[in-house]
Structure 1
Amino acid sequence: MVNGQPESCLLCHAEMQGFVTGHLPVLIGCSGCHLGQPTERDKNDAHANMLLVPGNIAEAEESCGNRICHPDYAKWVPNTLMSTGRGIVSVNRFVFGESDSPDGPGHLSQLGNSPADKHLRQLCASCHLTLPKTQPSPISERSRGGGCTACHLQYSDEAKSQFQNYKETGELPTQHPQLNVQIRDENCFGCHSRSARISTSYEGWHETLLAVEDVQPDSTFRIFQDGRVFSRQAQDIHYQRGMSCIDCHTWRETMGDGTRYNHQEEQIEIVCDDCHFTGKPRTISIDSLRQHDLQVLGKRRWQSLVKTMLRLKKSGSPLLNSFIDSTGTAKLILKNSGALRDLRPPSAQCGTTIPGHNRLSCQTCHTQWAPTCIACHTEYEPQNTSFDHLQQKDVPGAWIEYADGQLPVPPTLGVQKEVIETFIPGMILTISSQEKNLGNSGGDEKIFRRMYAPIRAHTIGIKARTCESCHNNPRALGYGEGKLEFFTTYAGYGKWVFTPTYANHPEDGLPADAWIAFLQPSPSSEATRSDIRPFTIVEQQKILSVGACLTCHEGTKQNIDQIYGKYSQSLDNLSEKCLQAGF
């Protein structure tokens, strides 16, 4: 008997071990997760309608989300971006010309058969929580979907060993995988090593176009289970300090709060200065926490430490793994290890001592590199077949992607909601088909788009990029790779000249990797968000005006204090040798 109800499962499976306290069969039985017919004693009858893999989104309200377990989360998770892929769907339709906006409805499990949706069904639709997991297995680099188990499933070494033995011999395991809140980076990796590749970048790996046979796995290269080859790059400082993904990212960001967001940056509630702040911290008392925050905090071993915690600027929600100690020092608790980290304030030069720099986000200066791809060709080949991730079978017609120029370089800068942010060439691509059926493109067999996309690269470093790497760098300004030089033209003035590395694209005449033209209107320049834009010509001129000074007066601390910290005054007191940029 479990909770006063018959539970015949334990007659056969009483030896099963490995559960966390909240999931002990003596408390919730086996049927609490796996359903079935727990009053039946015949094996076949008892297993009728049983869930082999509980937690899939389609059955979450019956298993994990039943009324005595986690009902609210089972309602919220299906509406999160990790379940719906709403932004991926809407942006993809926008790119194909099937929608007028990159915002809007969409669900990776409810795709149609338009060119844009077929493209997603074949190339993108495996990476979302709603994809059902049909067979038990440990988490790996190739794991996809599975609803609740995608994050909360953890196999111990013994559970992995017994599972492998079961596959080889058929001997049933006695060690059950745990379902817990100790979510490892490996659980995130399967999906987030794709697209923006934040899992790989965080650990310091950049995807190359090399073949497996071209390299040997060592400290320089890593071969993934799917055959992709990655090269070693700088790691994120938070990764170096032992922080997991969940140490920053909150339960609201991953499991939802009941709101339907369009894009990742809308659902993310934490920002850098929630932890790295100056002045008095924003705090909230444990006595002021709401029910769900108290529930989540109660799952942790260290909840006794937390009496007053940091309050997030964007949402006002608590950062549950933070606290203010008796000395007034803000500390972060690493969720998986319990280790403590002091939360240090930013440098005095972070946006406060130089006019105009208060618009810069933290990652603008502290992102070390970002994964970029400057040339993408996507072609539909009706004579071939491809795997449809929704139908789980091969289907006629194949979307094929061809990439070139994948480089780990500092990101381009631009504007999102009037904040300077980081961007990469999200879609400088040509979409072509041997059939004239591409969206609303007027019957043309080819679509060209020059779109940049926002990137939070997860490659943060302590050392900021230099003044010159923004003000004198063509890639940072959106012109693409090349040589940006300042020449004297006449007394007191000079002129900027840009020589691109890559040839102009035949579709719009801009360099292949550019977002905008050099100090000229750029009608073909777009973005994957409605609130994003490149620098205007006026903004470019302001940036390059400072860049002209930097060609002689480097961005040292002394020059920042004496020249750039009071730039207007400096312009009024130019020496005879100084050159201003003429436009």
Structure 2
Amino acid sequence: MFRRSHLLLITLSALFLTFLAVQYRENRLPWKKIQGISRTAPRVREIYLPQWKTRERCLTCHFGIEEISSSHPIAVFGCTVCHGGNGLALDKELAHQNLLGGSNPSDFRVVHLTCGRRAPDGSRCHAGHPEMEKNPAQTSPRSLMATMAGVITGLRYTWGAQEQTEALYGSLGVEGENKPIATIPVFDRFSFRLDPRGKPLPQDDRGRPIQTSGQLADDHWRKFCSRCHLYSRRESGPSAHGGGCASCHVSRNTRGTYEGKDRALSPNKPGYGRIHRLQTAIDSSQCLRCHNRSGRIGLTYTGLMESDQYGTPYQAGNLNAARLSGDRFVLHLTPDIHFEKGMHCIDCHLAREIMGDGKVHSRMTQQVEVRCQDCHGTEKTPPRTYTVASEKDPLIWAAAFTRIPPLKPGETLLVSSQGQPFPNIRREKGDWVLYGKVDGRRHPLKINTGRPGVHAFPGHRSSRFECFGCHSRWAPQCYGCHDYRRAHEKQTDVMQRTDTPGLWQETRDYYRFEDPPLGINHRSKVSPFMPGCQVLLTQLGPD
């Protein structure tokens, strides 16, 4: 009897301890700890997405996360429709298996599976529509900001790596509507990344073959120029940006950290958007995250100039605190008149200039279509116009994603040099008005056609002079660029995310902002020139 009672006591004690252990483990589940910060009792949060015929529990852990946009409500899209992963798992490792693009489903390597996908009922997201404007998931990966084909072609041509001025290579190989381009080669067989067995892996992120070229231009681009295209990203700093669509459509702080209410995301870990939200009214500061090197057009537009490294003007006895990425000093000069008036880059630049038209272009002049004359006319010819014909016009759809007044059938708009309408430039009571896409501000336009003055002088006519040949207040000028390649050291190939032989360094003699020199541009017109990238090259061996 005593023995049986003793055995029963041991059994009950074991069961009680097991119960306590299970309770302890249950109460310490990560998702319960996350929800425990709130005032509500922890619970599994499951939603059903009828259009996608799936259930998910992501909000159990990502409790408090912001809705990505009003066009993508959580009740309709949830999380896994875009992000992939295992939506029913409550364990982090299991839930995050097979995420598309890591934390960024808009990465162009996977965008056809996310932003460009179709629902089970056949409805399309951002690809496959008859109207090109609705297909950015198709066009953007082929745009110049993604392929960098213009920079690559210019670099290879001037360094003697190719004879053609037409693009042969891009950051990643793509098939354009007009032609394909291959992935830019690596320098030699030692420049390939290695597979888990230590063997060279001669292919890009999409499994396409990469060739060797023996050209220093290719090694230079991969290590020095390749961080500022849309297949790449920067986790932190003044140039912090995501890859793919998130490069423009997700705002970041300089630390690259998350400031939102999702308690599952660390506020101290770099590599995230400021909050989990898409933006379509994109201000100029977002453009400057990339457009602050090379032609430096973003800096010039906003009145900033990368300066020589003296650190002047000094502040409180210390070097100037105003810095760009790479710890470069910057001066504040006179900005462009349009920036002074409160206009942003997207107020002039059209969607297909930025997100592409589905074609592979070899240089920027082929993709950029906005001209001064599109808004202001010439001395003889007024700007061209377009009339919105019906409610089905895609411009009405596009205008709704900015802060301009809604478009209506019958309204008259101005058009670009290639005939694309500006949805934010309209005729109102006989006058032309531009509405800011970021803030909705109203800007009256001045038309130069038929006005007396210097525009009518024979030497100043638009057939001979670019408007900005006279109207540019200053232009950046960089002299004495000197590149060094240390063949015996290693540097990260950004595209392959691995260190390969060859370390590049760069110096320059001086930097100026005086009146720019004038020359004849590709349109046979007088235009400001911005000297730069006139490179002296030195290759250094072990000795």
1:205 and 2:310 correspond? no
Mark the CA change 1:361 to 1:377 in structure 2 (over 3 Å): closer, same or farther.
same
Q: Deviations over 1:266-309 (max 9, x none)?
A: 10111112111266542212226976534322323434255524
Deviation of residue 3 (structure 1)? 2.8
Give the corresponding residue for 1:233.
333
Give the corresponding residue for 1:2.
49
1:75 and 2:126 correspond? no
Mark the CA change 1:435 to 1:352 in structure 2 (over 3 Å): closer, same or farther.
farther
For the residues of structure 2 that align with 1:353 and 1:191, how far apart are their CA atoms? Answer: 39
Mark the CA change 1:102 to 1:406 in structure 2 (over 3 Å): closer, same or farther.
farther
Q: Is the 8 A contact 1:76 1:258 kept in 2?
A: yes
> Counting strand residues as a fraction of each chain, which structure ranks higher?
1
Deviation of residue 428 (structure 1)? 2.7
Q: Deviations over 1:167-225 (max 9, x none)?
A: 3689xx99952112121222211210111111211121111121559833999872235
Q: Which of 155, 160, 171 pairs up with 2:259?
A: 160
Q: Which of 398, 408, 428 pairs up with 2:534?
A: 428
Give the corresponding residue for 1:470.
none
Residue pairs, 1:459-538, within 5 angstroms: none
1:95 and 2:158 correspond? yes
For the residues of structure 1 that align with 2:153 and 2:383, how far apart are their CA atoms? Answer: 38
1:349 and 2:448 correspond? no
Q: Which of 514, 532, 535 pairs up with 1:409?
A: 514
Mark the CA change 1:56 to 1:309 in structure 2 (over 3 Å): closer, same or farther.
farther
Mark the CA change 1:225 to 1:412 in structure 2 (over 3 Å): closer, same or farther.
closer
For the residues of structure 2 that align with 1:83 and 1:165, how far apart are their CA atoms? Answer: 31
Mark the CA change 1:411 to 1:322 in structure 2 (over 3 Å): closer, same or farther.
same
For the residues of structure 2 that align with 1:155 and 1:97, how far apart are their CA atoms? Answer: 39
For the residues of structure 2 that align with 1:387 and 1:164, how far apart are their CA atoms? Answer: 34
Give the corresponding residue for 2:423.
320
Deviation of residue 21 (structure 1)? 1.0
For the residues of structure 1 that align with 2:253 and 2:225, how far apart are their CA atoms? Answer: 30
Q: Deviations over 1:209-260 (max 9, x none)?
A: 2155983399987223531001121111111111111111110101111122
Q: Is the 8 A contact 1:306 1:323 kept in 2?
A: no
Mark the CA change 1:365 to 1:74 in structure 2 (over 3 Å): closer, same or farther.
same
Q: Is the 8 A contact 2:86 2:97 kept in 1?
A: yes
Residue pairs, 1:208-287, within 5 angstroms: 208-212=307-311, 215-216=314-315, 222-277=322-377, 280-287=382-389
Mark the CA change 1:141 to 1:290 in structure 2 (over 3 Å): closer, same or farther.
farther
Give the corresponding residue for 1:472.
none
Number of equivalences: 429
Give the AA of the match of 1:374. Y
Aligned to 2:489, the other structure's residue is in SS state strand
Give the corresponding residue for 1:36.
85
Mark the CA change 1:196 to 1:99 in structure 2 (over 3 Å): closer, same or farther.
same
For the residues of structure 2 that align with 1:428 and 1:19, how far apart are their CA atoms? Answer: 44
Mark the CA change 1:165 to 1:46 in structure 2 (over 3 Å): closer, same or farther.
closer
Aligned to 2:423, the other structure's residue is in SS state coil
Deviation of residue 311 (structure 1)? 3.4
Q: Is the 8 A contact 2:232 2:242 kept in 1?
A: yes
Residue pairs, 1:43-192, within 5 angstroms: 44-51=93-100, 52-67=103-118, 68-71=124-127, 72-109=135-172, 110-111=183-184, 112-113=186-187, 114-131=215-232, 141-154=238-251, 160=259, 162=261, 166-167=265-266, 176-192=275-291
For the residues of structure 2 that align with 1:169 and 1:220, how far apart are their CA atoms? Answer: 27
For the residues of structure 2 that align with 1:379 and 1:18, how far apart are their CA atoms? Answer: 48
Residue pairs, 1:272-311, within 5 angstroms: 272-277=372-377, 280-287=382-389, 292-305=394-407, 307=409, 308-311=411-414
For the residues of structure 1 that align with 2:454 and 2:377, how far apart are their CA atoms? Answer: 11
Deviation of residue 265 (structure 1)? 1.6
Aligned to 1:373, the other structure's residue is in SS state strand
Mark the CA change 1:290 to 1:361 in structure 2 (over 3 Å): closer, same or farther.
farther
Deviation of residue 379 (structure 1)? 2.2
For the residues of structure 2 that align with 1:105 and 1:190, how far apart are their CA atoms? Answer: 27
Deviation of residue 127 (structure 1)? 0.7
For the residues of structure 1 that align with 2:348 and 2:268, how far apart are their CA atoms? Answer: 42
Q: Deviations over 1:334-363 (max 9, x none)?
A: 011011100112363353223463310111
Aligned to 1:399, the other structure's residue is in SS state strand
1:381 and 2:491 correspond? no
Mark the CA change 1:190 to 1:368 in structure 2 (over 3 Å): closer, same or farther.
same
Q: Is the 8 A contact 1:61 1:75 kept in 2?
A: yes
TM-score by length of 2: 0.72
Deviation of residue 10 (structure 1)? 5.0
Q: Is the 8 A contact 2:63 2:263 kept in 1?
A: no
Give the AA of the match of 1:315. Q
Q: How high is the sequence identity, in percent, across the aligned residues?
A: 28
Give the corresponding residue for 1:531.
none
For the residues of structure 2 that align with 1:388 and 1:43, how far apart are their CA atoms? Answer: 31
Mark the CA change 1:313 to 1:339 in structure 2 (over 3 Å): closer, same or farther.
closer
Gaps of at least 5 residues in structure 1 are 437-583
For the residues of structure 1 that align with 2:304 and 2:484, how far apart are their CA atoms? Answer: 28
For the residues of structure 2 that align with 1:78 and 1:266, how far apart are their CA atoms? Answer: 16
Mark the CA change 1:15 to 1:232 in structure 2 (over 3 Å): closer, same or farther.
closer
1:370 and 2:478 correspond? no
Q: Is the 8 A contact 1:220 1:231 kept in 2?
A: no
For the residues of structure 2 that align with 1:221 and 1:50, how far apart are their CA atoms? Answer: 40
Deviation of residue 411 (structure 1)? 2.0
For the residues of structure 1 that align with 2:391 and 2:166, how far apart are their CA atoms? Answer: 33
Mark the CA change 1:332 to 1:280 in structure 2 (over 3 Å): closer, same or farther.
same
Aligned to 1:304, the other structure's residue is in SS state coil
Gaps of at least 5 residues in structure 2 are 1-47, 119-123, 128-134, 173-182, 188-214
Q: Is the 8 A contact 2:427 2:433 kept in 1?
A: yes
Aligned to 2:346, the other structure's residue is in SS state helix
For the residues of structure 1 that align with 2:93 and 2:480, how far apart are their CA atoms? Answer: 56
Q: Is the 8 A contact 2:402 2:438 kept in 1?
A: no
Mark the CA change 1:241 to 1:262 in structure 2 (over 3 Å): closer, same or farther.
same
TM-score by length of 1: 0.67
For the residues of structure 2 that align with 1:360 and 1:219, how far apart are their CA atoms? Answer: 41
Give the AA of the match of 1:397. G
Q: Is the 8 A contact 1:6 1:39 kept in 2?
A: no
For the residues of structure 1 that align with 2:332 and 2:274, how far apart are their CA atoms? Answer: 37
After TM superposition, the structure 1 stretch with the greater mean CA deviation from structure 2, 82-91 or 390-399, is 390-399
Deviation of residue 31 (structure 1)? 1.5
Q: Is the 8 A contact 1:162 1:175 kept in 2?
A: no
For the residues of structure 2 that align with 1:373 and 1:174, how far apart are their CA atoms? Answer: 33
Aligned to 1:252, the other structure's residue is in SS state helix
Q: Is the 8 A contact 2:517 2:528 kept in 1?
A: yes
Mark the CA change 1:79 to 1:353 in structure 2 (over 3 Å): closer, same or farther.
same
Deviation of residue 89 (structure 1)? 0.7
